[in-house]
Structure 1
Amino acid sequence: MGGLAGAGGRGAGGAGGAAPEERAPEPWELDLRDVGVQDAPTDGFSCRPLAAELLCAAWGVRTVVLDPADGAESWRYNGPRTSLGPPAAIAAGGAVFARSEKGVIALDPADGAELWQLDAPELRDLVAVGDRLALQNGDSTVRFYAQETPERLGTWEVPGRYLTDLRAHGDRLLAVSRDEETGGAPEMMLLDGTGREQWHAPRPLAPVPSLLELVALDEEAAYFEEWDPELPVSVAVQRMDLASGEWVRTELPHPAEPRAVLADDGLVYVTDTAGRVTAVDAAAGEVRWSAETGVSGASEPLVADGRLYLSDQEGRLSVVDTADGGTLWTGPAHPGTPGLGSDAWAPAPVLLDGWAYVVTLGNTLYAVRLPEL
């Protein structure tokens, strides 16, 4: 059974305890086995900011909130042990939403206390859409709920098809589906936070000999990586304008691993395991630059404040200038103890108040102060 586990660190005192003392952060490293993670890549372990703390989750099995000052555990929620894949916990609307035995549970971000639950059998995806939640339960239906209460606000379905991806930006959601019998005819629909269709008809994906993988959505466009028809590498970035439906294809100068990140200015940064980063102006259909960074076995990238952050297979964090691909700084190695997923890639680093928090292939999570560059 899932449930709230005993918390360590500053959350242990409960609601009646004394207020936590302010203290300066220090570098720290946590062996993820101490929070029940046997192998970070295969367990799907990643972190994201939660106000002034870190929200970390291993798929739907375990959710833990950590104090970024020292890595101490504030609270933990153990989901159903049968959860073998996504979705991981998300934070939205003043709550943390995680997989539960019943379906989805809303937790108080302060202490992990249960706020409410809703039935969602066979949960496959959980996405925040503005102030709503979108749930996909392994069929052709997306169900929309309020974030404050388990109130159903709308439903959208595509009979005869199965959903392959949901991606939100602001109060809109892009749903990608395929024909149920053939697995072909990929198409998409743009929805609002109650499931109302924003286009007059579904739009087909651009015709390519292989797969288009949705990597990002912003106010103006959807962005895809185009895979090679024979190898699991991406060869181009495709951009579809949400208003006009126009597609722009940008061929990459070098094949890349299927890991890309979108910046606020509409640039897509594509990485590969050898350390090459390529910056693509997707609207113009142009490659801005392509540079070797030396980051072997690169993690998923993070872009923020004109810089790209990614770690390597030894856990070193590198900071790359998004203007030209030059490496500005590289931190020390944190090799840890690699597990079964050591040939996979690590999740993107997290930035919070001048510090970076890095999950490594060595099954560790560490904190490092970022230099002034």
Structure 2
Amino acid sequence: PVAVAVAALTVGGLGALGLHGHPHDPATKQDTAATPRIAFRPWELDLSASGTKAQGQPQCTDAPKKLFCVRPGVLAAAIDPDDGKVLWSRSDPGDVSAYATPAPVLSGGLLLVGGSNGRRLTALDPVTGSTRWSRDVSSYSGAVAHVAGVVLLSGSDSRVTALDAATGEEMWRHAIPGLAVPQFHTYGDGTAYAVAPPSGTGTRVTAVNPQTGAVKWQRRVEGTLDLVAARDGKAWFTSATVDQYTNAVLRYDVATRALRRTVLRIPQAQAQTVLRGDVAYLLGSDGSLVAVDTRTSKQLWRVETSVSKASAPVVSDHRLYLSAVDGRLIAVDTDRGTLLGQTRARLGDQRGSLVSLLPAPLPARDKIYATSPDGSLFAVDARDPSGW
């Protein structure tokens, strides 16, 4: 069973969720009776396995009418995004450690979660939480990707196994030319991308059709680069120095092979990058945040957030959000580079300890959902950061 405590507060803060569990544990259903909707009030939630002291922060995914979250000791939980009410939850007694599990993925009409320290991939019915299929993925060493309704598993034998996310059945299995053990990524365009380790002075990027495993294109781009986005026939990279300072953003046209490089005026330490349109936002580990237009190669603004080693930034509408290691949620105006507001700190009993996992905030429905080191999942109104 899973013990749940929910509180509606004027300031949000809340308890962590995790993903690990036995595929045959029945879902613990909560009262889902319809109630009249009222004006949104920030809320907080603590979700943990009964009789355990769960560790780690929640990892959540947004769906049209639900948030799906995971936490060590909890295989998965469905949460009402408007008031924080738990609709159903599944426990995972096999793991209550702080193992960093990925956020659940909605694919093929099912909710895919990786419980038991990532050793097993389980597909759940998103309405009831019941198991639809499950597979041991321990031999793939965490090389599991979800792209356009397909699960891609990369094996040490260089072969990739593709599963239908809706059924768990194998679709194809073979090696991808030029890739040893590919780590696939997707950027929402239905293509799987893999970057091979640099050879010489170049970086090889491969675009793969996840339905068939066929290579769409493969390019070698000069420099030691990290792929940060791909869409509409374009790919964006960052380049870094040997001491991990990001010094440029590159915009690459796949068809023409034209490469535009935007050099940063001041390199960013271990930058995390998010793209909106042609504008790249780079957040350094020291808290510096810079915006550059990759089409015109112009730096738009730079601001010091005073937040070191933050979560990855996310952009929604004209705002950028990030989470600090002390649990603060911070909003920045993407047009002007000004700080708009922040929530209070939420360290809990993690005060003085190193927080190794900081999930990025999740913007949706004029709200921002975020997690913090005290185990909190909380929701605040995105329209009024100054009132957080």
Question: Normalising to structure 1: TM-score of the pair?
Answer: 0.80
| Alignment map for 1:344-363 (pairs within 5 Å) | 344=356, 346-363=358-375
| Alignment map for 1:202-281 (pairs within 5 Å) | 202-208=218-224, 212-230=225-243, 232-254=244-266, 255-263=268-276, 265-281=277-293
| Alignment map for 1:254-333 (pairs within 5 Å) | 254=266, 255-263=268-276, 265-333=277-345
**Secondary structure of 2:348's partner?**
coil
How far off its partner does 1:170 sit?
Answer: 2.1
Amino acid at match of 2:23: G
Cα 1:12/1:343, change in 2 over 3 Å: closer
Structure 1 match to 2:61: 48
How far off its partner does 1:103 sit?
Answer: 4.1
How far off its partner does 1:278 sit?
Answer: 0.8
Structure 1 match to 2:89: 75
Cα 1:38/1:84, change in 2 over 3 Å: closer
Alpha-carbon distance in structure 2 between the residues aligned to 1:293 and 1:266: 22
**Backbone CA RMSD of aligned residues:** 3.4
Structure 2 match to 1:192: 209
Cα 1:61/1:215, change in 2 over 3 Å: farther
Structure 1 match to 2:17: none
Structure 2 match to 1:157: 175
Kept after mapping to 2: 8 A contact 1:135/1:142: yes
**Secondary structure of 1:198's partner?**
strand
Alpha-carbon distance in structure 2 between the residues aligned to 1:252 and 1:271: 12
Kept after mapping to 1: 8 A contact 2:151/2:164: yes
| Structure 1: 4+ residue segments shifted above 6 A | 182-185
Alpha-carbon distance in structure 2 between the residues aligned to 1:245 and 1:347: 34
With 23-32 and 127-136 compared, the bigger mean Cα shift is at 23-32
With 217-226 and 75-84 compared, the bigger mean Cα shift is at 75-84
| Structure 2 unpaired stretches of 5+ | 1-20
Kept after mapping to 1: 8 A contact 2:287/2:306: yes
Residue 2 of structure 1 is aligned with which of 11, 22, 26? 22
Kept after mapping to 2: 8 A contact 1:59/1:87: no
Alpha-carbon distance in structure 2 between the residues aligned to 1:148 and 1:227: 39
Deviations along 1:236-283, one digit per CA (max 9) or x if unpaired, are 2233323233333222223233311121x1221111244321112223
Deviations along 1:98-134, one digit per CA (max 9) or x if unpaired, are 2367843221111211112345442323333223332
Deviations along 1:9-62, one digit per CA (max 9) or x if unpaired, are xx335xxxx64434445333345666864133xxxx422212222222348984
With 291-300 and 165-174 compared, the bigger mean Cα shift is at 291-300
Alpha-carbon distance in structure 1 between the residues aligned to 2:73 and 2:177: 27
Residue 104 of structure 2 is aligned with which of 69, 89, 92? 89
**Secondary structure of 1:3's partner?**
coil
Residue 116 of structure 1 is aligned with which of 118, 133, 142? 133
- 1:148 and 2:148 equivalent? no
Alpha-carbon distance in structure 1 between the residues aligned to 2:281 and 2:162: 32
How far off its partner does 1:349 sit?
Answer: 0.9
**Secondary structure of 2:349's partner?**
coil
Structure 2 match to 1:66: 79
Cα 1:361/1:86, change in 2 over 3 Å: closer
Alpha-carbon distance in structure 2 between the residues aligned to 1:304 and 1:261: 11
With 304-313 and 118-127 compared, the bigger mean Cα shift is at 118-127
**Secondary structure of 1:122's partner?**
helix
Structure 2 match to 1:133: 151
How far off its partner does 1:372 sit?
Answer: 4.1
Kept after mapping to 2: 8 A contact 1:279/1:289: yes
How far off its partner does 1:350 sit?
Answer: 1.3
| Structure 1 unpaired stretches of 5+ | none
Kept after mapping to 1: 8 A contact 2:73/2:91: no
Cα 1:184/1:83, change in 2 over 3 Å: farther
Residue 27 of structure 1 is aligned with which of 42, 62, 69? 42
How far off its partner does 1:300 sit?
Answer: 1.5
Amino acid at match of 1:104: L
- 1:173 and 2:192 equivalent? yes
Q: Identical aligned pairs, as a percentage?
A: 29
Deviations along 1:124-152, one digit per CA (max 9) or x if unpaired, are 23333223332324552332232322233
Question: Normalising to structure 2: TM-score of the pair?
Answer: 0.77
Kept after mapping to 1: 8 A contact 2:48/2:74: no
Alpha-carbon distance in structure 2 between the residues aligned to 1:109 and 1:31: 20
Alpha-carbon distance in structure 1 between the residues aligned to 2:183 and 2:74: 21
Aligned residues: 354
How far off its partner does 1:156 sit?
Answer: 4.5
